[in-house]
Amino acid sequence: MKYISIMVLILLSMQDADAQKQKLQKATFGMGCFWCTEALFQRLNGVSNVKSGYEGGDVPNPTYEEVCTGTTNHAEVIEVTYDPAKISYDELLEVFWKSHDPTTLNRQGADVGTQYRSVIFYHSDEQKDIAEKYKAALNKDNAFGKPVVTTIVKAEPFYVAENYHQDYFVKNGELPYCRLVILPKMEKLEKLFKAKLKN
């Protein structure tokens, strides 16, 4: 009898774990260099995982070197795994819009090329609707003084970038690029979204 009770408890706990996994959702954003983007979204409460990678191109399993040429049509993106009970898709979009310039076509700062385009890859019709309404509202209010050129397209195969791109800021925070480019974005995140950040 004791054995059966233990088995029942194990099965119930496995079901709970599965239910927890099912609650997690994915969001995919491209907003310039994925080193910057990854560092920002990793800080958000409710985000359990962020992977840097490539999406939206014509070549399967592209390398960083290939994507950098701009000929594969991939964008540098991050795939975010998040808990919608802790952070909503709307909130993720707010961070997305306010953390880069969505009015410049195929460029972010000194990074130029289609691989640096502003793009949202949606994973559901609900994400598509939310993103499109948000973009329309920004353009209607002329929020950036220029039209938002971010593309909103259905998620395509996501290719995880090479290992040295993952957790880039965490591992290389002392490098000049991290201090000059990523750190100011982190400071801005801290100012704008303090209440949404992990402790």
Which among 68, 54, 28, 39 has a CA at the least distance from the CA of 181?
39
CB 137, CB 94: distance < 8 Å: no
Is there a catalytic annotation at residue 33? Answer: yes
Instruction: Tell me which DSSP letter residue 88 carries.
Output: -
Marked catalytic residue, from 33, 36, 68, 178:
33
Work out the burial of residue 93: count CB atoms within 10 Å of its CB; fewer than 13 is exposed, 13-18 middle, 19 or more buried.
Answer: buried
Residue 83 CA to residue 91 CA, distance in Å, equals: 12
Residue 94 CA to residue 97 CA, distance in Å, equals: 5
State how far Cα 42 lies from the chain centre: 9
Residue 177 CA to residue 131 CA, distance in Å, equals: 30
Residues marked active site are found at: 33
